[in-house]
Amino acid sequence: MAAVSSSLRPKLTLSLSSPTPNPNQLTSLSLLRFPASVSSRCRCLSFDSNNRNSMMRLKASISPAAIVADQTTSSPAIPMVVDVDLGDRSYPIYIGSGLLSQPELLQRHVHGKQVLVVTNTTIAPLYLDKTIWALTDGNPNVKVESVILPDGEQFKNMETLMKIFDKAIESRMDRRCTFVALGGGVIGDMCGYAAASYLRGVNFIQIPTTVMAQVDSSVGGKTGINHRLGKNLIGAFYQPQCVLIDTETLNTLPDRELASGLAEVIKYGLIRDAEFFVWQEKNMHALLARDPIAFAYAIKRSCENKAEVVSLDEKESGLRATLNLGHTFGHAIETGLGYGHWLHGEAVSAGTVMAVDMSYRLGWIEEPLVKRVRTILEQAKLPTEPPETMTVDMFKSVMAVDKKVADGLLRLILLKGPLGNCVFTGDYDRQALDDTLHAFSKS
């Protein structure tokens, strides 16, 4: 867990055990039932109004009522904090509404005097000025440059990566500079990889602006670009200094992108957090309506799940692979269709239904779970079948070169046992895989 420097230690103690939310807040709370946290590692920060640079760290886990109070008071929102525990590379994830309006949160993680914000043509008009303000307000010594990349998965390549290096070199960024990724997973992956390799590694901050990036890609340190022959084939594990999730940025996100990110949220419930899955079944309508309280909770819980898995298996020797439920089938769909037709989460959604179907054929899960998975994905307005153009051969040819093939054997993430349990295994009946592929393909 990240150490707290002495200047940041609380001068006061504060209890969150009995917050006094107003009646409006209680209404929200009663609509959204919050189960207990995955772990007790979620913390809460608040600012001393007399000195905005001093910060109080509260030992108590945040309570559901406190989450509600955070979102509705007029004073600066109190971010929730999830720690990613990686020894001396540990870092905090801040989650809350309006966090880009709290310059001190970002500034405490900027070392040196030079910052390069990496973003794209869609996000720059929306959030670049605000981000530059957050980096420089009350901090005139910092010089901020920005590089605005073309938008799209098709630009997640070496040529675009070079534009980041060009800007950094032209601006004479030194070893103490900080790269800031402002955008979705594409920007996060590219900026992270650029930070990992520029001058053999510089500081890096993630400001994810899609659900996909906020619940998944910004956490855990996987960075990289695509190669013409495959997705994410070139990259590095590289951890950021912090992740700042301002849930207000979701207000401008297109519906389809929002739903795509929900596929990953649902994944956490299925592979390791049954209670969270049940919460999602009750609150999917609130998520689709972009209820900020529901979203903050779903993001926090997703980050907690991912942080736990990453802390236990940073370099993916086993456990971390379980985060790829539905992804082997999903990648085949993404590759088969060509990138840009289906969003990643849409392909993962159909892939999850296929993985669950196969788990059922193997006799590893009960039928009601199969139905629940379909229902929640349909509720989230996600596809539950691959596109009609996908054939069994297309699935097989892409799955044969999956990164999870070891010694010629394709290992899959499959559900096994009650809700919330999965396995990563190559030990399954090949007939079940064949039957699933035929059941979901026309030819």
Residue in 373, 266, 272, 267 with CA at minimum distance from that of residue 313: 272
Residue where the block lists tokens 């992740």? 243
109, 300, 301, 344: which is the annotated catalytic residue?
A: 344
Closest approach of ligand NAD to the CB of residue 257, in Å: 5
Query: Is 44 or 123 the residue whose CB approaches ligand NAD more closely?
Result: 123
Closest approach of ligand NAD to the CB of residue 306, in Å: 9
Closest approach of ligand NAD to the CB of residue 379, in Å: 20
Query: Is 64 or 185 the residue whose CB approaches ligand NAD more closely?
Result: 185
Under a CB-based contact definition with an 8 Å cutoff, are residues 44 and 59 in contact? no
**Pairing assessment for the beta strands 143-149 and 42-48 based on DSSP bridges:** unpaired
Active site residue 388: no
Active site residue 331: yes
Q: 123 in helix, strand or coil?
A: coil
Active site residue 11: no
Active site residue 120: no
109, 167, 203, 264: which is the annotated catalytic residue?
A: 264
Closest approach of ligand NAD to the CB of residue 329, in Å: 16
| CB atoms near residue 408 (< 10 Å) | 7
Active site residue 285: no
Closest approach of ligand NAD to the CB of residue 272, in Å: 16
Active site residue 320: yes
43, 306, 361, 372: which is the annotated catalytic residue?
A: 306
Tokens coding 107: 């500034």
156, 167, 267, 320: which is the annotated catalytic residue?
A: 320
Closest approach of ligand NAD to the CB of residue 10, in Å: 33
301, 331, 372, 404: which is the annotated catalytic residue?
A: 331
Query: Is 156 or 372 the residue whose CB approaches ligand NAD more closely?
Result: 156
Residue where the block lists tokens 């969003």? 343
- C-alpha to C-alpha distances, 147 to 107, 119, 219, 355, nearest whole angstrom: 20, 6, 22, 40
43, 109, 167, 222: which is the annotated catalytic residue?
A: 222
**What DSSP string describes 131-144?**
HHHHHHTT-TT-EE
Q: Which contiguous run of DSSP H or E holds residue 267?
A: helix 255-272
Under a CB-based contact definition with an 8 Å cutoff, are residues 266 and 383 in contact? no
Query: Is 53 or 252 the residue whose CB approaches ligand NAD more closely?
Result: 252
Query: Is 32 or 186 the residue whose CB approaches ligand NAD more closely?
Result: 186
Closest approach of ligand NAD to the CB of residue 226, in Å: 7
Closest approach of ligand NAD to the CB of residue 149, in Å: 10
Give me the sign of the Cα torsion angle 264, 379, 39, 79.
Answer: positive
Residue in 404, 305, 302 with CA at minimum distance from that of residue 355: 404
Under a CB-based contact definition with an 8 Å cutoff, are residues 260 and 308 in contact? no
Query: Is 137 or 257 the residue whose CB approaches ligand NAD more closely?
Result: 257
Active site residue 275: no
**CA triplet 232, 235, 237: central angle to 5 degrees?**
120
Query: Is 126 or 405 the residue whose CB approaches ligand NAD more closely?
Result: 126
Q: Which residues form the interface with ligand NAD (CB under 6 A)?
A: 120, 122-123, 126, 151, 153, 156, 183-187, 189, 209-210, 212-213, 216-217, 220, 222, 232, 249, 252-253, 257, 260, 344
Query: Is 64 or 208 the residue whose CB approaches ligand NAD more closely?
Result: 208
**CA triplet 158, 159, 161: central angle to 5 degrees?**
60
50, 51, 159, 200: which is the annotated catalytic residue?
A: 200
Q: Which contiguous run of DSSP H or E holds residue 236?
A: strand 230-237
Cα–Cα distance for residue pair 63/201, rounded to 1 Å: 38
Active site residue 281: no
Residue in 35, 87, 86 with CA at minimum distance from that of residue 61: 35
- 268 Cβ contact list (under 8 Å, min separation 6): 215, 276, 301, 302, 305, 306
Instruction: Report which DSSP code applies to 213.
Output: I
Backbone phi and psi for residue 121, each to the nearest 5 degrees, phi listed first: -65, -25
Strand segments, DSSP code E, in 359-417 are 405-406, 409-410, 412-415
Closest approach of ligand NAD to the CB of residue 74, in Å: 24
Active site residue 159: no
Query: Is 273 or 316 the residue whose CB approaches ligand NAD more closely?
Result: 316
Nearest residue to ligand NAD, scored by beta-carbon proximity: 185
Return the active site residues: 200, 222, 264, 306, 316, 320, 324, 327, 331, 344
